[in-house]
Amino acid sequence: MTGKVGSFDVGAVNIQANDLITDDALDALPPDTVAESTNFTVLRLRRDIFSRSSVGVLFENRSKSAVAGSGSNLAWGADGWFALSSEVGVLGYYAKTQTEGLNGLDASYRGQLTWDADQWGARLDHLLVGEDFNPEIGFARRRGFRQSVVSGRVSPRPRSIPWIRQITLQADIDYVENERSGFVESRDRGGQVRVEFENSDQFGVTFGDTYENLVVDERISGALVPAGRYSFREARGSFTFGPQRPWSGSLSVRRGSYYGGTVTSAGLSQGRLELTPRLSVEPNISFNWIRLPQGRFDQHVAVTRLTYTLTPRMFVSGLVQYNSGSDSFSSDLRLRWEWAPGSELFLVYSEARDTDVLDRWSDLVNRGFVIKVNRLLRL
């Protein structure tokens, strides 16, 4: 349930999952309970304050923790966005989790100051994620670190060049430190030059200098990279065709050093081609040629979305994706129907297959069918 009551935005979700039981295909082994019956609850409340600011709270509960042998997993927090002016804003949050057996720093917080004017801009950002911060509804991609970011830009509008709308010069520094010991895990320093033309096309060049400290051996891009300190640099160029065209997208190339080797990339992202007023295609493709001391690793990804609008309130879309790195092929088919203003019906079919098999038929990995209904209640 989601909605708005006066100056409050409210949201509530409750999901009950039954036991997941597996059985041997030949009935030679007894059934095995892979996952116990679990209840998931999320409550969210946010209030608008002043003219363009807000504060909110969040509560999450998972009745059976996926990490602890028994007990639940709790998470709660508070956040806020404060618009000090039309150009300056402050963002922050504090969150904490509770999981049996995790007794270290189980909190996370962030503070960000942003200045975003037309011809000037800057950002200061600091984030901490504790080693035992464990939100089991949702996910934390990385734990046990502190991240500090400093960014600045200048974006003049040269009146003496009629075919250029704006030029942007930007510099960024990103430090990630270990939360407990304080040593630098990674550091990124970069600079960017971007030119926006009067027809909305854009051209950009980016340079990056990266330092990475691997504490243990890690598998990266298909190769087992040994622990150690790595420094590498790269350059990237891109050209983006503006949305005013019947076809648009961003072409890019990248070249640089990479964990003792080299990486070369080329691709098309955010592609869109309108074949008819009702039919559009959104292609995205990425080629990556990686040369490391461990060998040659090429990873290519192709994604295409096809959308057909049946009526102003109904459309069907299909998405297919191929990843050469994992030898996987996935597809999704979706129907969206707005059967009443603010109320929608979704039908979604998804399937994933492994193409790296010995026979000529791909192996089915998973398949799913979902029905979702949204109903708008006006109180």
* Helical ranges in 23-89 per DSSP H: none
292-346 per-position pLDDT tens digit: 988 888 899 999 999 999 999 999 999 999 998 888 889 999 999 999 998 999 9
In angstroms, rounded to a whole number, what is the distance separating the alpha carbons of residues 101 and 242?
Answer: 53
Q: How deeply is 114 buried, as exposed, middle or buried, from its count of CB atoms within 10 A (0-12, 13-18, 19+)?
A: middle
**What are φ and ψ of residue 37, in 5° steps?**
-55, 130
The pLDDT, as a whole number, for residue 26 is 45
**32 pLDDT exceeds 70?**
no
Residue type, 148: S
**58 pLDDT exceeds 70?**
yes
For the whole model, what pTM was predicted? 0.82
Lowest mean pLDDT among 45-54, 107-116, 209-218, 355-364: 355-364
DSSP state letters, 142-159: --SEEEEEEEEEE----T
Q: Cβ–Cβ contacts within 10 Å for residue 280, how many?
A: 19
Handedness of CA 220, 226, 229, 232 (dihedral sign): negative
Residue type, 66: A
Residue type, 92: G
The fraction of the chain above a pLDDT of 90, given in percent, is 68
**29 pLDDT exceeds 50?**
no
> Secondary structure of 270-285 in the HEC alphabet?
EEEEECCCCEEEEEEE
Q: Are 111 and 91 in contact (CB under 8 A)?
A: yes
Element (H, E) at 166: strand 164-178
The pLDDT, as a whole number, for residue 101 is 82
Q: DSSP label at 137?
A: S
Lowest mean pLDDT among 2-11, 63-72, 181-190: 63-72
86-105 per-position pLDDT tens digit: 999 999 999 999 988 888 88
Residue type, 167: I
Q: Which residues pair with 368 in a beta bridge?
A: 350
| Tokens 């989601």 found at | 2
For 179-185, what is the mean pLDDT? 89
Tell which residue, 93, 89, 83, has the closest CA to residue 44.
93
The pLDDT, as a whole number, for residue 142 is 87
For 26-48, what is the mean pLDDT? 75
Assign 186 to helix, strand or coil. Answer: strand
Element (H, E) at 299: strand 295-311
The pLDDT, as a whole number, for residue 195 is 98
110-164 per-position pLDDT tens digit: 999 999 999 999 999 999 999 999 999 877 888 999 999 999 999 999 999 999 9
Residue type, 133: F
In angstroms, rounded to a whole number, what is the distance separating the alpha carbons of residues 24 and 358?
Answer: 23
Q: What is the mean pLDDT of the chain?
A: 90
The pLDDT, as a whole number, for residue 358 is 55
The pLDDT, as a whole number, for residue 360 is 52
The pLDDT, as a whole number, for residue 333 is 97
